[in-house]
Chain A
Amino acid sequence: AQSVTQPDIHITVSEGASLELRCNYSYGATPYLFWYVQSPGQGLQLLLKYFSGDTLVQGIKGFEAEFKRSQSSFNLRKPSVHWSDAAEYFCAVGLTGGGNKLTFGTGTQLKVEL
């Protein structure tokens, strides 16, 4: 069965600083990969996704993520963080070829210092 690890439970960055949130997965084939964001009191919003092709994917709100097969990673990055980016970020893995089920990581809580 697939699994997802987000090693950082909490991260604090200063506004304007760069950000990288880590995500590692375990799966026998190339999975579908997703990053979602959950703002306080909100549902999950899709930031970006990777299915195949170019390993650097662009998402909404200035986020990008890079799929590295050799490292089984899909880290999320943003060059300059805004205070409104404070939220919880979830990495998720889906099965290729259908099945539809998503396995979520435990999440990383991002705090932005002004």
Chain B
Amino acid sequence: SAVISQKPSRDICQRGTSLTIQCQVDSQVTMMFWYRQQPGQSLTLIATANQGSEATYESGFVIDKFPISRPNLTFSTLTVSNMSPEDSSIYLCSVAKLGLEGETQYFGPGTRLLVL
């Protein structure tokens, strides 16, 4: 498994500002992921962050809005830029750990963002 921490755990922000969310894992991992969970909804993958390369974004998500950094194998950041109330969500990072049979994703506790 993996122990994942996220900072901040929650925040209230004004529209037009940006927030950077940090994700730290207790072991080196190749792939980290960022998800968004809008109120009352399921999880939607924003992007995959590989160390040493550009993040890969899913349809509907762009780098200008959600820039991602992955400076090493245990850390990543997601920035939510120029925020609007529609960005109010839980943002979760996850890591993929390879076992004998396949890969499993483990999730951090999430960052709860409210944009006013």
Q: List the interface of chain A (C-beta within 8 A of B).
A: 32, 34, 36, 41-46, 49, 51-53, 90, 94, 96, 98, 100-102, 104-107
Contact = CB atoms under 8 A, between A and B. Distances in A.
A51 B101 contact: yes
A44 B42 contact: no
Contact of B107 (A44, A98, A101, A107): A44
A47 to B, nearest CB: 12
B55 to A, nearest CB: 13
A113 to B, nearest CB: 22
Chain B: interface residue count, which band?
A: 20 to 34
B42 A107 contact: yes
B104 A34 contact: yes
B108 A46 contact: no
A94 B107 contact: no
B110 A42 contact: yes
A51 B107 contact: no
Given A43-B92, A43-B109, A94 B102 contact: yes
A52 B101 contact: yes
B109 to A, nearest CB: 4
Given A90-B42, A102-B45, A104-B43, A43 B108 contact: yes
- Sorted nearest first, the 5 A-B pairs with minimum C-beta distance are A51-B101, A44-B107, A43-B109, A51-B102, A43-B110
Contacts of A36: 107
A41 B1 CA distance: 21
B103 interface: yes
A110 to B, nearest CB: 15
B105 interface: yes
26 contacts: A36-B107, A43-B6, A43-B92, A43-B107, A43-B108, A43-B109, A43-B110, A44-B43, A46-B1, A46-B104, A46-B105, A46-B106, A49-B104, A51-B101, A90-B42, A90-B43, A96-B102, A98-B103, A100-B31, A100-B103, A100-B105, A102-B105, A104-B42, A105-B42, A106-B41, A106-B42
